[in-house]
């Protein structure tokens, strides 16, 4: 798997991860929040429930704080108080690759 060489966080927009093979993967915050990898959010998705309730008017969640978790991933504290998911670099890269293999231009 490619190594992460840079991470850029736009607290109200997206997280962009740059890999050493030249790929720049950008993840909108609403998608990241919905895909939270913590056990509680994963369980909600497995039960067919949305793990995050979108706000009225389509307002996206924002990032209050984020920390690197070693060379493994990113921990995000959201403005709704949620902070238990760690987004692994490998998982984010697979997500990006899967979206682009299916023709999704994002």
Task: Give 53's pLDDT tier (boundaries 50, 70, 90).
Answer: confident
pTM of the model: 0.87
Residue 12 has which token pair? 């109200």
Q: How many domains does the chain have?
A: 1
Task: Give 102's pLDDT tier (boundaries 50, 70, 90).
Answer: low
Long-range contacts of 64-71 (CB under 8 A, 24+ apart): 64/11, 66/9, 66/15, 68/7, 71/4
Parent domain of 45: 4-101
Q: What is the CATH number of the domain that holds 57?
A: 3.30.2020.30
How far apart CA 52 and CA 30 sit, in angstroms, is 9
CB 12 within 8 A of CB 61: no
Higher pLDDT residue, 58 or 38?
Answer: 38
CB 29 within 8 A of CB 61: yes
Q: Does residue 106 belong to any structural domain of this protein?
A: no
């Amino acid at each position: 798997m490619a190594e992460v060489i840079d991470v850029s966080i736009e607290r109200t927009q997206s997280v962009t991860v740059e890999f050493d093979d030249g790929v720049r993967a950008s993840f909108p915050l609403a998608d990241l929040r919905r895909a939270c990898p913590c056990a509680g959010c994963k369980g909600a998705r497995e039960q067919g429930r949305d793990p995050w309730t979108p706000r009225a008017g389509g307002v996206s969640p924002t990032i209050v704080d984020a920390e690197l978790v070693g060379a493994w991933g990113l921990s995000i504290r959201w403005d709704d108080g949620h902070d238990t998911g760690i987004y692994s670099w490998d998982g984010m890269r697979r997500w990006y690759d899967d979206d682009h293999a299916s023709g999704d231009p994002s």
